[in-house]
Amino acid sequence: MRTEILKIGTLDRTRGVHRAARWLDQGKLVAFPTETVYGIGCKAEKHTFERLNKVKGRQPDKRYTLHIGSPEQLTKYIPSKSLKAQKLVQNAFPGPVTIVFELDDEALRQVTESLPKDLYETLYSGQTLGVRYPACQITCEILAQAHSPIVAPSANPGGSPPATSVKEVLGYFDGEIEGVVEIPDFEANFKQSSTVVKVGKEDIQILREGAVPASQIQKWTTIRLLFVCTGNTCRSPMAAGFCRKYFADNLGCQVDELEHFGYIIDSAGIAACQDAPASRDAVEVCRAHEIDLSFHQSRQLTLIDIEQSDVILTMSRYHRDSIVQSFPTALEKCFMLDEVADIMDPMGSGIDVYRDCFQQICDNIIKKKKEIL
């Protein structure tokens, strides 16, 4: 067999892209470039995988990474994502990061109902699937045009460095694969493998540090949660205090370690005086639940708060409406903490009212755990 070089120019590329996609759909092995290294594209089906394993000298029990060329393809295979997964996708795709998604039960149900059984068993490992969205426009066009799901391990035999050029691909696989895509003037920016990140149900794991450092992944996946009331002296501080403790308990860490686990939880008021302490009754109610508000200082909600927050939870509809009216960019991330009823202001009403208010806040944060943790 002769390995053909498919030269695809950046101006007139329709024919070359179509040919490469058609070859992949036919079950041929076609190497293509990414911004990291070359990968060997392969149709996701059992007998084609068997040939790819033989070419790479790879054990058959290892799973391959699905490669996509558009956001729509991701939705097909990962129908729902946690908040951390959504944020990582927004920051890392397309780019030199492979994300291993852990599907929850509902997403798994949707996938198993929509995909053929043999395809599901070929692609997924238990409840996980690794996905790569490379930052190479022509390669993405090939992947998007292919009618079949395409996997693409690095172009190298086991134990050898990944190929970063057509010459290196041919040095490994000339006569063993059908084609290799060559894009004139294209050069991989990183020349090392992608960083592999597993997004679990409650945590993020770096499985392999590569082109993107772990510190950047941490920044990309940190969730900023903001609670908002009027004066930022009772309702929103109680909400932030309970949320910090609740998250820390669920993650098995201390409250002051939450940022290391990827959560920043704060509060503000739409009409707050600067640096006022939490109300006495709020401090007392929280102390009974081992939550310390003695150091709290109120602050006014700002545009920077809106821009930096991933989720904004308000104590009433009035708060939400006021925020959206003043900051239209908050529309898609600003919600009432209690979707049914306002959390009434307990200021001046006595400690029993504070206790009821605190309980309503806690119940609703617990309800939202799956959405934000």
Residues serving a catalytic function are: 229, 235, 345
Q: By 3-state DSSP, what share of the chain in percent is helix, strand and coil, each rounded to 5?
A: 40, 15, 40
Q: Which amino acid is at 31?
A: A
Residues 51, 55, 60, 62: is their CA dihedral positive or negative?
negative
Strand 128-132 and strand 179-182: the pairing is unpaired
Answer whether 299's CB lies under 8 Å from 232's CB.
Answer: yes
Q: Where are the alpha helices (DSSP H) in the chain?
A: 14-25, 46-56, 71-77, 83-92, 105-114, 117-123, 137-145, 166-173, 214-221, 235-251, 280-287, 303-308, 317-326, 351-367, 369-372
The CA distance from 223 to 203, in Å, is: 12
> By the 8 A CB rule, do 24 and 30 touch?
yes
Contact 238/293 with Cβ under 8 angstroms? yes
Residue 50 burial (CB count, 10 A): 11
- CA dihedral for 324, 239, 343, 271, sign (positive or negative): negative
Q: Residue 305 carries which side chain, given as an amino acid letter?
A: D
In the structure encoding, which two tokens stand for residue 31, read together? 């190497």
Residue in 71, 207, 80, 198 with CA at minimum distance from that of residue 128: 198
- Round to whole Å and give the CA distance between 5 and 8: 9
| SS3 letters across 196-246 | EEEECCCCEEEEECCCCCHHHHHHHHCEEEEEEECCCCCHHHHHHHHHHHH
Give Cβ neighbours of residue 93 (< 8 Å, ≥ 6 apart).
Answer: 71, 74, 99, 133
